[in-house]
Structure 1
């Protein structure tokens, strides 16, 4: 039985999906990406298992049967396909063309190893909402322009210099200690000292307008 399709959905999916050769499933919770669809904003998602022909994703975004979706990984690669079945918080996606599972998992493992050293860029979501930073007891209003599990971009007049430690406060999210990775005349990039947990960011994105 295919691991990405619940038993109750097997018969319905078989009635509609094009026949494809059954592929071995490799279970993983390491792949977190940006969910893209034809008529909706970007969302956070997690790939729970994957094969050469399809994947099971976790997402709170409702997805219709047969809809086109893509999951953009940290590397920028997009896994594209159509929704073969959908349920509460989960969906099965059949790829447009077969993928190289071993290569994708190897790159994910490499990213996880490098992350400790270089903090590679996690999937970012463009937003625009009020926030504030504090440093040495001084609070400054800023605009949050994008956010990921590991960092954010803020717009403000006279941003703090690089390697300045600040606390970022965003409505709906716990405050987070950060350091500035870069700054220019009107914006700064922040690196969180502790990443935002997947479920925490996913729930917040559901209640904020994503560009």
Structure 2
């Protein structure tokens, strides 16, 4: 059983993994039974009840983790967490309260591989987690506005459908309902979808709040584009 920690931490705005001084909470955690417990700050993708969300991993061990997320979870829910090296792990919710949850993993993981500190993981490019969307957007490029559809979103960029191709490295402004307009640069195109990198990353709080409004996040029909 994973015992929830007391409310002692304050909000931290970060997007990658960073090892923080470990503080053993009163009453203990699953770390008392595992020597590989690490206190980190790692943004991940959470799949729960058929919907994906961004979450933040606070504690990580070989068989469990504690996460922060804006979606409502309940004890015994089944979830999947996609970590920074695209490794997906299945888990059961052991406890949930106040925007946090303790997950019991179905099988052990290699922590160094998850954090990208072993040679075998060096070829894997870490990326910020992407969440699916189906949302109308407005694209501004060289004084021209055009309609587009958002396919997925991360803190560092997005993938959209556009009617007319753009030259690689084009700088644009993208307006997504519920978020402030973002300047971005085109990074790739597969003929239908286009990938953009934001010039200024979204904060975890912005993405976390935006993803909960499904009336905005899944507002359009892609077939219209």
| Bin of the TM-score, shorter chain as denominator length | 0.7 to 0.9
Partner residue in 1 for 2:179: 173
C-alpha distance 114-78 of structure 1, shift in aligned 2 (>3 A): closer
| Shift of residue 168, structure 1, vs aligned partner | 0.6
Q: Deviations over 1:56-83 (max 9, x none)?
A: 0001111111111121013210122211
Structure 2: how far apart are the matches of 1:154 and 1:106?
29
Q: Within the alignment, does 1:70 sit opposite 2:80 as a pair?
A: yes
- After TM superposition, the structure 1 = structure 2 runs for residues 4-19 of structure 1, keeping only pairs within 5 Å, are 5-6=4-5
Which among 151, 163, 185 is matched to residue 169 of structure 2?
163
Q: Is the 8 A contact 1:42 1:210 kept in 2?
A: no
Q: Within the alignment, does 1:200 sit opposite 2:206 as a pair?
A: yes
| Shift of residue 159, structure 1, vs aligned partner | 2.4
What SS class does the counterpart of residue 33 from structure 2 fall into? Answer: coil
* Structure 2 residues not aligned, in runs of 5+: 8-25, 220-225
Normalised TM-score (structure 1): 0.80
What SS class does the counterpart of residue 196 from structure 1 fall into? Answer: coil
Partner residue in 2 for 1:41: 51
- After TM superposition, the structure 1 = structure 2 runs for residues 99-178 of structure 1, keeping only pairs within 5 Å, are 99-107=109-117, 120-178=126-184
Q: Deviations over 1:71-104 (max 9, x none)?
A: 1013210122211110011000111122222332
Which among 16, 20, 27 is matched to residue 39 of structure 2?
27
Greater per-residue helix proportion: 1
* Structure 1 residues not aligned, in runs of 5+: none
Q: Is the 8 A contact 2:139 2:147 kept in 1?
A: yes
Structure 2: how far apart are the matches of 1:163 and 1:7?
47
Q: Deviations over 1:86-139 (max 9, x none)?
A: 00110001111222223322349x99x999xx8x53221221111111122221
Normalised TM-score (structure 2): 0.76
| Shift of residue 20, structure 1, vs aligned partner | 11
Task: Give the superposed CA RMSD.
Answer: 3.2
Q: Is the 8 A contact 2:135 2:218 kept in 1?
A: no
What SS class does the counterpart of residue 123 from structure 1 fall into? Answer: coil
Structure 2: how far apart are the matches of 1:81 and 1:75?
17
Moved over 4 A (4+): none
